[in-house]
A and B are shown apart, each in its own frame.
Chain A
Amino acid sequence: MYDTASYLIYAIKNNDEKALKSFYKRNFKKVETYILHNNGTQEDAKDIYQEAFISVWRNVQTDKFAAQGESSLDGYLYRIAQNKWLDHLRSSSRKNHFIQQDEVHILSSEPENIIEQKNELERMIAQLKSSFLELGQNCKELLTGFYYEKKALKTIAAQFGWTEATAKNNKYRCLQKLRDIVNNKTNGQS
């Protein structure tokens, strides 16, 4: 049987641009409608949807999402967006506004320690993402090419006019720089 869900998961894991773009575009309207009907603005809809989209992407990458069909992946994105919006409403001063309670879904009943681990991972990722901005252009291109675009080191080396061994060493140096930036920030805060 033609297995669309497996294809979509495989495509997401490989950051297939076409599949990701289509997945992003086809689900936005539904989430936007929900948020607009529940006291949100278009800007809220965009922010919440993008956060939810990244969460789905991450859960697919880390094998947290067990596929049951493509529609379930679409539905999963919608439910995550709903929950994020409900959390947002609860945490803001808008507690008293009407929420479509019948549409509230509990995504997981995971034990506390798992939730804590997840939060820790999210915190680490958030720090790394904000530090990534401070890297030099070459480092950004190298790391993006290798990890996001899944380019071979050989290809990246050719792009920069390096040998493959240089590309490999530079990749490690860039990663260390990124970790140093995070570390300096964290120590500066403490």
Chain B
Amino acid sequence: MDNHKLHISQSEWEKIEDFLFGKLATDEINAIEKQIETDTIFAQKVNEVKSVILAVQEFSLVEKTEQWHNELHETPIIPIQRKHSESYIRYISIASALLILIVCAWWWLLPSKEEKLFADFYQPDPGLPTVMSLSENYEFEKAMVDYKSENYAEALTSWEKLLTENPESDTLLFFIGSSLLAQKKAKASIPYFEKVISDEKSIFRSESYWYLGLALLKENQTDKAKKVIQLSNHDRKQDILKKL
């Protein structure tokens, strides 16, 4: 910054700011670009507005990086160890109880045939391609990035919010169902896939039959699952039907 402050009026500042934020129409952009080339003082003003905008943001960002850095070094709290003899007896008792519990649970929790099939055949839907743009679909696409990063709960929250504005959107319904199923919430996912299937024009119909079938299978509704899977065009359809 020069020793003498350049005078930039409020309207001029706001115009330059709109230019830098890409809010102007093409002819206005062209006019400003031309002025930058021909008018050195104006070019300096643009540089100054740019610097101020960057500096304010950087100041905030520096504060944020301090916070994030502290989080990097947060360590879990380790409980203070008791005296050896006392803790030894306690550990032995806990370990024995746990062992008994594990053996019982093993017997009771052996996966059913349906659960095994679900595990063998279920692959989360890969999601839609997203090329982030300055569009109103940003929220949707951001959630899609979460979904693809396996942050299903976060994707679900965003899409549920969007669904309140577009309750009939088959895309939202399908991906809400998919996010639920990916979190093993088969029962909760069922009505979403059913609703997509009820939309005859939906491009997600075939996939919805497949995932609805798998959700039903996970819920031990094998007969219904067979009928639904039969209606899908999934390439592993015949394999699973043979095993059902």
Contact = CB atoms under 8 A, between A and B. Distances in A.
Interface of A: 1-4, 6-7, 10-11, 15-17, 20-21, 24-25, 28, 46, 50, 53-54, 57-58, 61-62, 121, 124-125, 127-129, 132-133, 143-144, 147-149, 168-169, 172, 175, 178-180, 182-183, 186-187, 190
Given A125-B55, A172-B13, A186-B3, A50 B62 contact: yes
Nearest to B9: A172
B65 A147 contact: no
Given A6-B131, A46-B69, A57 B141 contact: no
Interface in B75-134: 127, 129-134
Given A7-B145, A121-B47, A24 B56 contact: no
A183 B3 contact: yes
Contact of A7 (B51, B56, B130): B130
B51 A10 contact: no
A25 B4 CA distance: 41
A24 to B, nearest CB: 5
Contacts of A21: 64, 68
Given A6-B132, A54-B61, A129-B59, A190 B47 contact: no
B5 interface: yes
7 contacts: A2-B145, A7-B130, A124-B55, A168-B14, A178-B56, A179-B5, A183-B1
B68 A125 contact: no
A112 B72 CA distance: 38
B60 interface: yes
